[in-house]
Structure 1
Amino acid sequence: MRIFIDLWWFFKQERLKYFFGIVFLMLSSFISLLPPYVVGVIVDDIRTRSLSSFILGKWILFLVIIGVVYYCTGYLWRQLIFGSSIILANQLRNDLYKHFTKLSPNFFQKRRIGDLMAHATNDISAVQNAAGEGILTLVDSMTMGAMVIVTMSAFISWKLTLITLLPMPIMVLLTMHYGSLLHKRFGKAQAAFSDLNDKVQENVSGVRVIKAFGEEDAQINVFRKASKDVVDKNIAVAKVDSLFDPTITFIVAFCYFLALIFGSKYVVEGTMTIGSLTSFTLYLGQLVWPMLAFGFLFNIVERGSASYDRIRRLLAVKPEITDLEGASTQVPSGAIEYNISNFHYPESGSNVLSNIDVTIEQGQTLGIVGKTGAGKTTLLRLILREFDIKDGQIRIGGTAIRDVTMEALRSAIGYVPQDHILFSATIAENIAFAKPEATQEEVERVAKLASIHEDILHFKEGYKTVVGERGVTLSGGQKQRISIARALLADPEILIFDDSLSAVDARTEVSILQALKQERQNKTTLISAHRLSAVEHADLIIVLDEGKIIERGTHEELIQKHGWYAEMYAHQQLESLVSEGGGKA
């Protein structure tokens, strides 16, 4: 029953709904006790031949009235109790989603998306059932059971009631044991479902790769094993679950046996009438539900408890990156200063960046180049505070980025990442993601700057074209350019391109860069690239190698140094000439 203590904060929050819901539920339980009493009276009247049409009509009218009242109270308690449980599910789901948005990238690198989705779906449903069905079965089993037992003992026979209920302690002990087993097994079943959910998400996202490598059969086998594991663990849950009903049914049947044996004896002895015995057996029938509900209660609350434990463990994860107390809410602007002695990712001992000392004046463009794994993306992600620097500092306009709130910091930055994430919405909605109130004219203007406008017009629905999940219906270059348009629409103080022109051709690249130069005067731009033509125009270019700056200067200065940059530029120019020659041939 620990789940009810854990959810006390919510019951307190919705106390009026639960209070009146429980009141109407108890009223329904009380009303349901009246028909067996009426039946007993009618049976005794039939036995004594004192039943008249008027008396029978009176009792029938009485039953109709209590039937209508029972219907109304049943409707009200369902609305109040089950409605509150839906509110709980919505609140927990919102809390989880809000929590996800605060967690650092390091968290998502460790946790699987499918597992997080399972927490937000199956686990929350189990907790919702505990707050709805669980409260119902708890209150109904206790109040209905108590009312029936009191009625049977006070108005019929306390001796027969005591004898009939002798097997009850055995049922309580067994259901508690089953509940303990269920808690452990259901937790394992939910974990297995998380694994399966994650496998489905991975395979659907990577279906093109699976098909390209002809791994359909292999992945089907992997999925089949994961699915079988879910089935096996849920069957283990079902084996415990299936013990509740037979156990309770057997004990109820034994109670009936005791009631008939000793009740018949009391009737023969004259200490009980046939009508009273009839009412007693009807009440005993009404006691079946509280007994079954008691078994259901353990089932529901143990499932809810296991799921709530999983949700609380997730909510207990502390965000690694948080606002400092007293951090400024003013959007930063001005020169960007990188002063990083050393930086390594959490749980990694090796440095990713070392001795980084760079200043970019406001309105300038910084180009960042180097081999794969040199630290280019890390350098850009640090200014977004995806990770905090322990040995060094980044400043914007003389203010350390840790001294402003993350909301203010990220309001100053537009980011076009390597992995272009588009949402299952229209192209216009994707472009206007950071500025939902943007007009169609504004959307089209930035689309033209990103050289994607003409492509969009060729789609049947134009800007109203709905892209697939993660932009699966678009080419890599189209996704890149829509991401660029999205960043441009926000018109940020600092614009970051993380190798964001790799999927466009040279002519389109030149067009985009020229548009950027005209559009972003007096605003800072940071561009990392493998293709050096993307940074030729930069005011400052740095070359990274194993996290260190090995060359810096303008394009012309670096060419004169005859170092890595000059060698790579000559190599890429040769590739471009060969490619153009091949095209002419």
Structure 2
Amino acid sequence: MKVFIDLKWFFKQEKRPYILGISLLIVVAMLELVAPKVIGIVVDEIKNGTLSPSMLFKWMLVLALTVLTMYVARYYWRLMIFGSAYKLARQLRDMLYSHFTKMSQTFYQKKRVGDLMAHATNDLQAIQQTAGAGVLTMVDSLTIGIAVIVVMAATISWKLTIICLIPMPLMAIMTNWYGGMLHKRFYKAQEAFSSLNDKTQESITGIKVIKTFGQEKEDIDEFYQQSADVVKKNLAVARVDALYDPTVAVIVGVSFFLSIAFGAKFVLDGAITIGELISFNAYLGLLVWPMLAFGWLFNIVERGRASYDRVRSILDEPVDVEDGPGAIDEVPSGEIAFHIEKFSYPGGYRPVLNQIEFRLKRGETLGIVGKTGAGKTTLLKLLIREIEGFDGEISFGGRQLHEYKLERLREAIGYVPQEHFLFSSSVADNISFAKPEASMEEIQYAARLAKMDQDILQFTDGYDTIVGERGVSLSGGQKQRISIARALLMEPEVLILDDSLSAVDAKTEEGILSALRETRAGKTTIITAHRLSAIQHADLILVLDEGEIAQMGTHYELMNEDGWYKEMYLHQQLEELVEKGGAYGQNN
């Protein structure tokens, strides 16, 4: 029953509906004792020949009023208890979602999306069952069970009651044993479901890759194996679950056998009447539900405890990046200064960034280039505080980044990442994601700046075209430009394009960059790129090599010194010349 202790915070929060619901449950339990007693009285009156029509009407009226009261009470306790259980599921779901939005990149590198989805669906359903059906079952079974035993012992025969309860300790021992097995097996079953959930999500997302490489059969086989594992582990749960009812049935059967055998003797000895024996067996019949419910309770509780442990393990994960004490509630602006002595990812063997130092005045453009894995994206993620834990400091407008509230810092930055994520909604909704109140004129203006407006107008429904999940219906270049339009609509103090022009042609790239130079006067822009033409106009260019600044200066300065930048620029110019020559030769 540990899960009820773990959920004490919620029961305390919702104490009024729970107290009312439990009170009504107890009323219903007490009223259920009325019918067997009335039946016994009526049988004895019939046996004695003293039953009159008025007496029969009186007892029937008692039964009718009892049934009506139970009807109303059952309606309201369901609203109180099950309604509160739904609130718990909603509250935990909100807590999980809020926690997910606060977690850093490191968290999502360790956790699988399918597993997180399983926590927010299957696990919460099991916890909701505990707070609803679990509370109901515990209160109802204990109340009815205790009340029935007391009434049987006090009003009929305490000796017969003790005799019929002899098998009960065995049931307690067996159900406790089943509960331990159930907890372990259900935890494994939930883990298997999480893995299947993750596999399904990953396969659907990567369906293009699977089809391209002709791996449909292998993927189906892997899915089949994981699905079979889920069935196997849930069957292991079902095998334990299936033991409850037969165990209870056997114990109840033994109790009824003892009741008939010893009850008949008590009647013959004149210790009880035939009507009392009938009432006793009716009460014993009422004990069947508490016994069954008690077994069901262990089932619900162990499932809920396993799921709550899984959910708590996620909620207990520390937030790596959060507001510091006394964080400033203002949007930063001004000069950006980097002084990073060293940064390594958790568990990393070598620094990803080392001895990075430069200043970028407000309104300037910074270009960052280098080989793949040189640390370009990591540098940007430190600026937006997506990751932390470096030696050194980064300042924005004369203050350290951690002095600003995260929300305000990110309001100042429009970030277009390498991996462009579009939502399964319209083009207009995707562009206005960061500014939902934007007018259609503003959305269209941002699209024109990103050189995407002509493409959008050719879509079937224009700006109302649904792009599909992750923008599946769009090309890579179109997704990049919609992402750029989304960032431009914010009119941010700092615009970051993290290799965000790689999928557009040189002419479109130049059009976008020209638009940025015209519209972002006085605002800072940071561009990482593999194609050097994208950053040659920058006020400052950094060449990163294995996390260190290998070269730094303007395009003119870097072209006047031997190094990676000059070599790569000349190489790319030659490639472009060859491509133009090839195209010319083919046309002639």
2:269 counterpart residue number: 269
Deviation at 1:389, TM superposition (A): 4.4
1 CA distance for matches of 2:53 and 2:456? 83
Q: Which amino acid aligns with 1:380?
A: L
How big is each residue's C-alpha offset from its partner over 1:537-560, in whole Å with a ceiling of 9 and x where there is no partner?
211111111112222222222222
**Amino acid in the other structure paired with 1:39:** I
Instruction: Tell me which moved more, 14-23 or 238-247.
Output: 238-247
Aligned residue for 2:394, secondary structure, equals strand
Q: Which residue of 1 aligns with 2:417?
A: 417
Could you tell me how far 1:582 is from its partner in structure 2?
Answer: 3.4
Q: Does 515-524 or 399-408 show the bigger shift?
A: 399-408
Instruction: Give the aligned partner of residue 394 of structure 1.
Output: 394
Structure 1 residues 165-564: aligned runs within 5 Å = 165-564=165-564
How far 1:178 moved relative to its partner? Answer: 0.7
Which residue is equivalent to 1:14?
14
Tell me the alpha carbon deviations over residues 312-342 of structure 1, each in whole angstroms, 9 at most, x when there is no partner. Answer: 1111111122222222222211111111122
Letter in 1 for 2:435: K
- The range that moved more, 326-335 or 181-190, is 326-335
Residue in 1 aligned with 2:581?
581
State the secondary structure of the residue aligned to 2:425: coil
Distance 2:313 2:389 in 1: 27
Whole-Å Cα distance in 2 between the matches of residues 241 and 14 of structure 1? Answer: 31
Question: How far apart in 2 are the matches of 1:218 and 1:277?
Answer: 67
Does the alignment pair 1:130 with 2:130?
A: yes
- Give the structure 2 partner of residue 70 of structure 1: 70
After superposition, what is the alpha-carbon deviation per residue over 1:402-444, rounded to whole angstroms, capped at 9, x for unaligned? Answer: 2222122111111000000111222211111111111111111
CA RMSD of aligned residues (A): 1.3
> CA–CA distance in 2 between the matches of 1:41 and 1:277?
11
CA distance in 2 between partners of 1:442 and 1:511 (Å)? 19
Return the alpha-carbon distance in structure 2 between the equivalents of residues 447 and 56 of structure 1. 84
* Separation of aligned partners in 2, 1:325 and 1:177: 49
Q: Deviations over 1:78-133 (max 9, x none)?
A: 11001101100110111111111111111111111111111111111111111111
What SS class does the counterpart of residue 543 from structure 1 fall into? strand
Structure 2: runs of 5 or more not aligned: none
TM-score normalised to structure 1 length: 0.98
Paired with 1:479 and 1:494, the residues of 2 have a C-alpha distance of 21
Distance 2:47 2:460 in 1: 84
1:94 is paired with a residue whose SS is helix
Q: Tell me, what secondary structure is at the counterpart of 2:530?
A: coil
Give the CA deviation at 1:274.
Answer: 1.6
Percent identical among aligned pairs is 57
Matched position secondary structure for 2:560: helix
Give unmatched runs, 5+ long, in structure 1: none
* Structure-1 residue corresponding to 2:33: 33
Aligned to 1:569: 569
- The answer for the alignment partner of 2:80 in structure 1 is 80
SS of 1:527's equivalent? strand
Deviations 1:236-262 (A, max 9, x none): 111111111110110001000000111
The letter of the residue matching 1:251 is I
Alignment of 1:118-157 (within 5 A): 118-157=118-157
Partners of 2:581 and 2:42 lie apart in 1 by: 106
> Which TM-score applies when normalising by structure 2?
0.97
Question: Displaced runs of 4+ in structure 1, greater than 3 A?
Answer: 581-584
Q: State the 1:58 CA deviation.
A: 2.9
| Secondary structure, counterpart of 2:423 in structure 1 | coil
Indicate the larger mover: 49-58 or 375-384.
49-58
Deviation for aligned residue 1:52: 3.1
| Cα distance per residue 1:479-516 (max 9 Å; x no partner) | 11111111011111011000001111111111111111
| Stretch of structure 1 that moved more, 500-509 or 12-21 | 500-509
Supply the AA of the counterpart residue of 1:262.
F
What amino acid maps onto 1:178 in structure 2? Answer: Y
Cα deviation for residue 64 of structure 1 reads 2.0
User: In structure 1, how many angstroms separate the alpha carbons of the residues matched to 2:354 and 2:176?
Assistant: 60
Paired letter, 2:135: I
Tell me the distance in 1 between the aligned counterparts of 2:45 and 2:475. Answer: 85
Q: 1:91-106 maps to which residues of 2 (within 5 A)?
A: 91-106=91-106
Describe the SS at the equivalent of 2:420: coil
Quick one: distance in 1 between partners of 2:462 and 2:36?
70
SS at match of 2:355: strand
Contact 2:123–2:311 (CA under 8 A) maintained in structure 1: yes
SS for the counterpart of 1:517 is: helix
The amino acid across from 1:329 in the alignment is D
Partner SS state of residue 561, structure 1: coil
Following superposition, the deviation at residue 469 of structure 1 comes to 1.7
Secondary structure of the corresponding residue to residue 526 of structure 1: strand
Partner deviation per Cα, 1:183-213 (whole Å, 9 max, x = no partner): 1111111111111111111111111111111
Give the partner amino acid of 1:438.
A
| Whole-angstrom distance in 1 between the partners of 2:148 and 2:564 | 89
CA offsets per residue over residues 43-102 of structure 1, 9 Å max, x none? 222222333333333322322222111111001001100110110011011111111111
In the alignment of these two chains, the number of paired residues is 585
Q: Which amino acid aligns with 1:92?
A: L
Question: Residues 130 and 431 (structure 1 numbering): CA distance in 2 closer, same or farther, change over 3 Å?
Answer: same
Shift of 1:363: 0.2
Q: Work out the CA distance in 2 between the residues paired with 1:255 and 1:520.
A: 85
For 1:357, the aligned partner's letter is E
Contact 2:344 2:390 in 1 (8 A): no
Q: Residue 287 of structure 2 aligns to a residue in which SS?
A: helix
CA deviation after TM superposition for structure 1 residue 137, in Å: 0.8
Deviation at 1:562, TM superposition (A): 4.0
Cα distance between partner residues in 1 of 2:543 and 2:535: 11
- How far, CA to CA, are the matches of 1:579 and 1:41 in structure 2? 104
Which shifted more, 371-380 or 41-50?
41-50
Distance 1:415 1:355 in 2: 24
Q: Describe the superposition over 1:361-420 as per-residue Cα deviations: whole angstroms up to 9, x where unpaired.
A: 100100111111111111111101122243221111221112222122111111000000
User: How far is 1:24 from its partner?
Assistant: 0.6
Q: CA deviation at 1:576?
A: 2.1
